[in-house]
């Protein structure tokens, strides 16, 4: 089978569905590739580069499988042969008229923006790929308009304060924006209805601003969901408080299949400082910011620039095309199990089923719901473990018996020991008693620092070893050397542990 790569007909589109690098990967799967003349010109991929990669430059509409970025025009759809498979961004949730049109044609259509957000399908997730690029580009566009440093500097001419950036929505685009703004030296804040993203924000050097609400957002689709009125009211209060102090605001909130939620009102925009910049990444779906215009940058009366560009990913066409083409290659790997150039559409696979809009002229949209929530299922309540019976307390008779036996053994040793050893045994016995009552009655939480210090007292062993070593007896010399070595390790180890523990309570 052969794959055709369309030249995008949508005005201003710079991306292409395959690059010379992805063409080589498609050839390894057994497919032939036909690229429309000039398809990659806007992304700096020449027809010669495709030819060198092994593709043929010609008519892609005659191919068995047709790749595109956007929904093809009516003329392009009319040119598809019967039984062809179309794979592109069809937006079936937002464009029901396209779904109806496709259902009238004897073709199969798969939408790349309908990939379910499950772990196995991450390599096919075009929305994440494009959002990553768009989030990065949003910061670049804001920096271009902002006209000042992002990072703070101290110069001979005075101090330059760092820019303050607020990112609303910590999805893939939001995280990319946080990383890009932080790498430029800005102070970055971020907010999101999902409290679990706080760690992700912190890992990129940002500060998470939580909305104090009893509602915790857990989505069963992998995307954000519409929040309650109570949450929206609290979020609006947070934005109203924070927005006047930020230099750059980037909004990324989108709900699949619905208009973008309105986060920033005109009053909030009016409260911002002149020269501030807003990048509304949801402008294509109505916008998160009141006053944003899809595809344009507008300046408000108080000097705030609102950027509503809808082609942020396309402003990095070579990178966007490479990532999109790689997503398509990963899909073809999934649908070409034998790597023999034969496409196999498996409806038992939830990923392929979810992406299929039309199958041989038969409408298959919408697909069955795919539960992708990462929230763990509630485990069945385990039966309570039987309470362990407490150990029986030692009886007085048993305790007295043990003490008596120990005393008898001690007196037998003393009766046979020389006078010099008796004094040492007496001191040793006292040390055991004192150590038991001192150490044994200390709380467990204090054992480590206490033992690290008391172990250091064993330095007296080093002194004793030094006095005994070199007495002319090899056995005494060996034992003394071992005692010095082990006691030294104990001393240095004890102080090292103590120092590390004390450092835990020291403010940096």
Q: For 186-214, what is each residue's pLDDT tens digit?
A: 999 999 888 888 999 999 999 999 887 65
Q: Which residue has the higher pLDDT, 404 or 450?
A: 404
| 3-state secondary structure string across 243-308 | HHHCCEEEECCCCCCCCCCCCECHHHHHCCCCCCEEEECCHHHCCCECCCCCCCEEECCCCCEEEC
Q: Which of 123, 200, 223, 342 is catalytic?
A: 223
Q: How far is CA 185 from each of CA 181, 274, 281, 307, 436, rounded to the nearest angstrom?
A: 7, 21, 22, 22, 58
For range 94-107, the mean pLDDT: 92
CATH topology of domain 2-123+316-363: Rossmann fold (3.40.50)
Q: Which of 44, 46, 122, 228 is catalytic?
A: 122
Rounded-to-integer distance, Cα 132 and Cα 45, Å? 22
For range 365-392, the mean pLDDT: 62
Has 125 been annotated as catalytic? yes
Q: Which of 88, 91, 111, 117 is catalytic?
A: 117
Query: What is the average pLDDT score of the chain?
Result: 85
Q: What is the pLDDT of residue 255?
A: 75
Report pTM.
Answer: 0.69
Q: Which of 25, 111, 128, 321 is catalytic?
A: 128
pLDDT at 439 over 90: no
Has 117 been annotated as catalytic? yes
DSSP string, 132-153: HHHHHHHHHHHHHHH-S-SS-E
For residue 441, name the pLDDT band (cuts at 50, 70, 90). low
Q: What is the pLDDT of residue 155?
A: 79
Which part of the chain has CATH 3.40.50.720? 2-123+316-363, 132-315
For range 308-318, the mean pLDDT: 95
Q: What is the pLDDT of residue 335?
A: 95
Q: Which of 125, 192, 247, 280 is catalytic?
A: 125
For residue 395, name the pLDDT band (cuts at 50, 70, 90). confident
Has 223 been annotated as catalytic? yes
Q: How far is CA 339 from each of CA 20, 28, 67, 333, 344, rounded to the nearest angstrom?
A: 19, 8, 18, 7, 11
For range 444-457, the mean pLDDT: 53
Tell me the percentage of the chain whose pLDDT exceeds 90: 57
DSSP string, 344-393: ---TTSHHHHHHEEEETTEE--SPPP-----SPPPPPPPPPPPPPPPPPP
Q: Which residue has the higher pLDDT, 451 or 254?
A: 254
Domain 132-315 sits in CATH at 3.40.50.720
Q: What is the pLDDT of residue 22?
A: 97
């Amino acid at each position: 089978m052969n794959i055709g790569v369309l030249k995008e007909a949508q005005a201003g589109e710079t991306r292409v569905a395959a690059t010379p690098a992805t063409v080589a990967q498609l050839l390894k799967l057994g497919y032939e590739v036909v690229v429309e003349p000039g398809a990659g010109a806007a992304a700096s991929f020449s027809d010669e580069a495709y030819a060198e990669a092994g593709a043929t430059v010609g008519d892609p509409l005659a191919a068995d499988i047709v790749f595109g970025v956007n929904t093809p025009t009516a003329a392009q759809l009319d040119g598809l042969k019967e039984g062809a498979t179309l794979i592109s961004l069809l937006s079936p949730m937002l464009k029901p008229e396209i779904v109806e049109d496709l259902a009238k044609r004897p073709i199969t259509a798969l939408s790349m923006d309908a990939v379910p957000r499950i772990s196995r399908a991450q390599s096919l997730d075009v929305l994440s790929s494009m959002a990553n690029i768009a989030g990065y580009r949003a910061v670049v566009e804001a920096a271009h308009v902002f006209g000042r440093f992002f990072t703070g500097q101290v110069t001979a001419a005075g101090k330059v304060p760092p820019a303050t950036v607020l990112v609303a929505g910590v999805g893939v685009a939001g995280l990319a924006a946080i990383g890009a703004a932080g790498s430029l030296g800005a102070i970055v804040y971020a907010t999101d209805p999902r409290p679990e993203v706080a760690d992700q924000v912190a890992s990129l050097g940002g500060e998470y601003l939580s909305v104090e609400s009893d509602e915790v957002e857990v989505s069963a689709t992998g995307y954000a969901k519409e929040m309650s009125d109570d949450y929206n009211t609290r979020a609006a209060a947070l934005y109203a408080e924070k927005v006047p102090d930020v230099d750059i605001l980037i909004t990324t909130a989108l709900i699949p299949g619905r208009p973008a939620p309105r986060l920033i009102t005109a009053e909030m925009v009016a409260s911002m400082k002149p020269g501030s910049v807003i990048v509304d990444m949801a402008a294509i779906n109505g916008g998160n910011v009141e006053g944003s215009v899809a595809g344009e940058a507008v300046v408000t009366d108080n000097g705030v620039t609102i950027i509503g560009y809808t082609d942020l990913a396309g402003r990095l066409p070579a990178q966007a095309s490479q990532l999109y083409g790689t997503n398509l290659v990963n899909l073809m790997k999934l649908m070409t199990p034998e790597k023999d150039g034969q496409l196999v559409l498996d409806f038992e696979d939830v990923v392929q089923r979810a992406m299929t809009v039309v199958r041989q002229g038969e409408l298959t949209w919408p697909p069955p719901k795919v539960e992708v929530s990462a929230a763990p299922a509630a485990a069945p309540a385990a039966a309570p473990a039987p309470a362990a019976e407490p150990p029986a307390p030692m009886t007085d008779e048993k305790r007295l018996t043990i003490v008596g036996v120990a005393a008898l053994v001690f007196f037998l040793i003393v009766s046979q020991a020389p006078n010099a050893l008796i004094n040492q045994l007496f001191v040793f016995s006292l040390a055991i008693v004192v150590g038991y009552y001192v150490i044994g009655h200390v709380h467990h939480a204090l054992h480590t620092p206490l033992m690290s210090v008391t172990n250091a007292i064993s330095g007296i062993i080093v002194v004793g070893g030094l006095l005994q070593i070199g007495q002319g007896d090899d056995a005494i010399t060996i034992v003394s050397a071992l005692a010095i070595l082990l006691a030294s390790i104990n001393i240095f180890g004890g102080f090292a542990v103590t120092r590390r523990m004390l450092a835990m309570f020291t403010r940096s």
